Chains A and B, each alone.
Chain A
């Protein structure tokens, strides 16, 4: 036991000696939370728009000034014809355009009605949908102003309650994702490199001939990263609460317990990777490039999993981060108890047990 402590201390020195890596390790969550919280909202505003007004009458001017004063749009110089609109799209300075035909105002009151064309750059479909909806709402609003009789006298008014997120905090579902991503990176990538480095440098042989069980070597290697990950976790929680005003609704103890479980899963994965590879470069590429994109894409915090082809839904089921993301969402953001997340917890337990067993097996083979 005393030996183990000495060994762990040695590993801690190893980790804390490298100031630059440490700076990044702690800087990363801070930067991510700030970026996700402030810069990356799913809001759509200040989007470039151009108007082709062939009518130049009171009505078209009124609609244009409505668009100008809206926070959603950034009015560009008026265009004179369709090729002009296309050019503006090709320059990337607008994402939608509105076209008024000749006689727009006078057509309003004859039997056919007047028409307006809204052109959206649909290469980004969601933005196009949102912009088109904004414009449609503005125009029908204007229509009602012109003609109060149009207001329906019978209507059903929806009363919407935003559960778990009254402030409409756009960054809410990113936070569990960021936590999962950071753990994946810190625990998996760092651990995988730590063991391989000893191999590359040839110091592994020395460790293995020491009167020290190989299992202990691995444990001692992993513990500093467990501590680092937990510190990071606390930093993220503090930032979320005090900077982004996220309310932690559930039990902190449960949240911590689940997080430790997930960190252990990541550490086991890291150990496994490091036992399968022989160079730091390979270990890093597998754990960073191989893990980062799938975690980002298939965890469910960027893209809805239910839209994906079934094969991805299957793959996302074998990613530990997906279960952890669900757990954090339920406990931290919805305030639910263990009875809601026991299934996911079991899955993570099974995964970490399996990965750890595999890692140790592979490790023993190397001794022969």
Chain B
């Protein structure tokens, strides 16, 4: 016990001595958590549109006016030909070119339907698909009015169809703001960076500069050394998590809907799992550089597979399995559920078992490996 106290003292001193590491651990995540959510906004607005109207009829002008005034699109210029419009897309100043062919109105009244040509910059998948669906809904609306206007110009409609009124409710985020989804996600990512990454670096540093050998010849036992490494970082991790929650509330006005105790229970277990990962990485690496790259490699995969950016449900089956083997996936899910929806422990206990499993397996592997390598 006494030995343990000394080791912990030494480790804490080492952490707090290095101002840069300290800043990296506490200041950087805080700053990034304040800043990043402002940038991480998937919302699609301001789709730049240009049009070429060869018809110049009242209907073509009505249609264009309707599209421009829908609020989804921004008029980005007035090209004189399709070619010029295309050039604007190439330069990136326009996302959509709308072209109305001559005789549009005459043919519409005569034949009942007319095509308009849209050319979309499809490199950005989200933007082009969301923009397309906006345009379709504007057109559907326009078509309905068109129908009524052409059939009964005096406004006497007699059609009585079966009608379904759809009432759309947005729960948990009525104003559809992105921050609710992003802030908890970013907090988890930052915690993962700190917990997994810095631990690994710290242990490998001892290896690289040879101090680990010195510790090995002292009467300090291996488990004491490992615990001495992990406990301070666990405390640092929990502190960072707490700072993160405070930032989330003070800056973004998001206070966890669920119980803080549940949230912290999950965070505690998650951090143990992460530290195990960090330790495991450190057994595979001999230099800090290697440790950093291994950590980065995993971080990258975690970030992509965790459902931070996309829905895990929509991935192919093999990717879903992979994502289930990623600790971050479960923690991000839980933090979002508890913070945004107030989920109770009993409702998310499956994720808890996952995390416990990760903590046991990762630490087990790490200790097993550690004994083998040193």
Contacts and interface: CB of A to CB of B under 8 A. Distances in A.
Interface of A: 18, 20-21, 24-25, 27-28, 31-32, 35-36, 38-48, 74, 87, 89-92, 95, 108-109, 111, 113-130, 132-133, 135-136, 139-140, 142-143, 146-147, 149-150, 152-166, 168-173, 185, 189-190, 193, 197, 279-282, 284-285, 288-290, 292-293, 297-298, 302-304, 306-309, 312, 326, 329-330, 333-334, 336, 340
Given A119-B171, A306-B46, 16 more contacts: A20-B294, A28-B296, A28-B300, A43-B314, A44-B311, A87-B347, A116-B167, A124-B311, A126-B126, A128-B176, A140-B164, A150-B161, A164-B122, A165-B128, A171-B125, A285-B21
22 contacts: A21-B293, A28-B300, A47-B313, A89-B172, A115-B166, A123-B341, A125-B181, A126-B44, A128-B176, A130-B130, A133-B137, A150-B159, A153-B151, A155-B143, A155-B146, A160-B118, A162-B122, A164-B121, A185-B296, A298-B39, A302-B309, A303-B40
Interface in B140-170: 142-144, 146-147, 150-151, 159-170
Given A119-B169, A126-B43, A139-B166, A281 B205 contact: yes
B146 A154 contact: yes
B316 A38 contact: yes
Given A113-B162, A285-B21, A333 B123 contact: yes
Contacts of A326: 92
Interface string B177-195: 1101100000000000100
Interface residues of B, number: 116
A189 B290 CA distance: 12
Contacts of B176: 122, 125, 128-129
Contact of B289 (A41, A45, A128, A197): A197
B293 A25 contact: yes
A92 B123 contact: no
Contacts of A307: 41, 43-46
Contacts of B219: none
A156 B128 CA distance: 20
Interface hub of A168, A279, A307 (most chain B Cβ within 10 A):
A307
Interface string B98-130: 000000000011001111111111111111111
B127 to A, nearest CB: 7
B260 interface: no
Contact of B144 (A90, A116, A152, A329): A152
Contact of A108 (B115, B135, B164): B164
A189 B165 contact: no
Contact of A47 (B32, B91, B294, B311): B311
Contacts of A164: 121-123
A114 B39 contact: no
A313 B182 CA distance: 19
Interface stretch (B240-248, B332-340, B365-373): B332-340
Contacts of A129: 130, 176
B304 interface: yes
B65 interface: no
B125 A113 contact: no
B172 A284 contact: no
A255 to B, nearest CB: 16
A122 B341 CA distance: 11
A312 B38 contact: yes
Interface stretch (B5-13, B266-274, B280-288, B354-362): B280-288
Given A40-B304, A156-B113, A304-B44, A125 B173 contact: yes
Contact of B290 (A20, A117, A160): A20
B347 A91 contact: yes
Contact of B39 (A46, A185, A297): A297
B238 interface: no
B172 A159 contact: no
B356 to A, nearest CB: 18
A149 B161 CA distance: 8
Interface string B17-61: 000110010001000100010111111111000000000000000
Contacts of B137: 133
A21 B284 CA distance: 11
Contacts of B230: none
B164 A114 contact: yes
Contacts of A161: 117-120
Given A122-B172, A303-B42, A90 B336 contact: no
